[in-house]
Amino acid sequence: MILPAAIAAGGILLAAVLPPGPGLVVRILALAPTGWLLGTQLHALGEFGIASAAGGLAGTALIGLGAAAGLLLGRDTAGSRTARRPRRLLAPLLPAALTVALAVGGTFLTLAAPEPVQERVVAHVDGASGATAWEVSGSTEWGRSLDGTQATSEIEVPTLEAAEAADGRVEIVFAAVRDASAAELTVSEGMMSQVTVDGVEVDSSEGLHTLEVHGLRAGQTVVVAAQIEPGAEVTAVETSYDPAPAAGWTAPGEGVSLMQPVMKVVVAARP
For residue 267, the cross-strand partners are 236
Query: What pLDDT was estimated at residue 227?
Result: 96
Rounded Cα–Cα distance for residues 241 and 239 (Å): 7
User: What CATH number belongs to 119-269?
Assistant: 2.60.40
Q: Please, what is the angle between helix 20-48 and helix 52-67, to 10°?
A: 180
Rounded average pLDDT per 10-residue block, the chain, 271 residues: 64 66 71 69 56 50 57 52 49 56 60 76 96 94 94 96 94 96 96 96 94 96 96 96 95 87 96 90
Which residues 6+ apart lie within 8 Å of 267 measured at CB? 127, 128, 157, 158, 159, 160, 235, 236, 238
Q: Using alpha carbons, list the distances in angstroms from residue 207 to 124, 170, 199, 214.
A: 27, 15, 18, 20
pTM score: 0.62
Instruction: Give the type of residue at 147.
Output: D
Where exactly are the structural domains of the chain? 2-112, 119-269
